[in-house]
Amino acid sequence: MSDLLRTFLRNRKAAIGLAIVLAYVAIALAAPLIAPFDPIARVGRPHQAPSAEHWLGTTRMGRDVFSQLIWGTRTSLMVGIVAGLIVTAIGTFIGITAAYFGGLVDDVLNFFTNVVLVLPQLPLLLVLAAFLGQVGPWAIALIIGLTSWAWGARVTRAQAMSLKTRDFIQASAMIGEPTWRMILVEMLPNLLSIIGFNFIGSVIFTIITEATLEFLGLGSPLALSWGTMLYNAQTASAIMVGAWWEVLAPCAAIVLIGVGLSLMNFGVDEIANPRMRTLGTVAKALRIEKRLTRQRMQEASQ
């Protein structure tokens, strides 16, 4: 495990990504300590531009944007992680079950997964959220978690299928290991990278989707999150009156966490798929060799 961590951190992309994500986690945990103002109190004049006192300006309600941003980090990360866990749990369960048992079980589960994959997800989510009324962040996490597992199930199944044909798995089956042991001890550890990839990807997707749903006014307007900040900015016509800070601040927060998480995912991908790593090195080595040959030829001709 520590080996895995070391490989992960040696990857520059993964390390930068992890640093960004950890910074967000720290901000979320320390929100009450570092937010300079109460995020829902009127602490200034409406639509004040960024200043020494209000680093990111104020909203139409005279609330401090910077404090809202910090508190919003908490909500967005929590929703992302909860939904990510649900998505990964369902996806991994369905994927491994389908691949391990094969036959009819696989046919049914795979068919179901493919059907969910071809449905227009965001419109369905919108309609669901609309019928449920203005839903809070937890409900959003639950809705996204329960509807977004199909992609993960599909990749996990594919990976588990190829794993099943490996010699060591076949050998364990022949020794007569019980099913639970086959799945939990033999297969699961070898699927860790795809599961991690799925989890991180789901967290990104959830943070983006939550912000989108709330921006459209389908979330609870009382929630403190980046999406609600965008929604309030939109209803206050912040863009039209030139209060760019109200819109750009949550946008930047969403983009940066997204980039951090994708960098981590790139790292996971490169660890799981050594080809992604070594080909660059091989190409570089080839280029160096070419250059050396050219130099040698020049030296020889002189």
Partner 1 sequence: MRFLLKRLGFYAVAFLVAATFNFMIPRMLPGNPADIMLANSGGMIAPEAREALMATFGFIDAPLHEQFFAYLGSIFTWDFGLSIKFYPMPVADVLVQALPWTLFLTGSALLIAFSSGTLLGILAAWRRGRLTDVIASPTALALQSVPAVVVALCGLYFLAVRNRVFPTSYAFDPKLDPALSWEFLSSVAYHGFLPVVTLSVVLVGGYLITMRNNMIGQLGEDYLAMAEAKGLSDARVRYAYAARNALLPSVTALALSFGALFGGSLITEVVFNYPGVGNLLYLGIVGRDFPLIQGQLLIMTLAMLLANLAVDLAYVFLDPRLKRA
The answer to whether 284 contacts partner 1 (rule: CB under 8 A) is yes
| Nearer CB in complex with partner 1: 8/205 | 205
Q: Would you give the end-to-end CA distance of the chain in angstroms? A: 55
Residues touching partner 1, count (CB under 8 A): 49
Stretch that binds partner 1, among 3-11, 114-122, 137-145, 294-302 (CB under 8 A): 114-122
The answer to whether 251 contacts partner 1 (rule: CB under 8 A) is yes
The answer to whether 115 contacts partner 1 (rule: CB under 8 A) is yes
| Nearer CB in complex with partner 1: 32/280 | 280
- Tokens linked to 18: 């992890």
> What is the smallest separation between the CB atom of 264 and partner 1, expressed in angstroms?
11
Q: Which of 19, 255, 292, 297 binds partner 1 (CB under 8 A)?
A: 255
Q: Which of 40, 61, 78, 126 binds partner 1 (CB under 8 A)?
A: 126
| Nearer CB in complex with partner 1: 79/204 | 204
The answer to whether 262 contacts partner 1 (rule: CB under 8 A) is yes
Stretch that binds partner 1, among 87-95, 174-182, 242-250, 294-302 (CB under 8 A): 242-250
Stretch that binds partner 1, among 22-30, 46-54, 159-167, 275-283 (CB under 8 A): 275-283
Residues that bind partner 1 (CB under 8 A): 111, 114-115, 117-124, 126-128, 130-132, 151, 204, 208, 211-212, 215-218, 230, 239-240, 242, 244, 247-248, 251, 254-255, 258-259, 261-263, 266, 269, 275-276, 279-280, 283-284
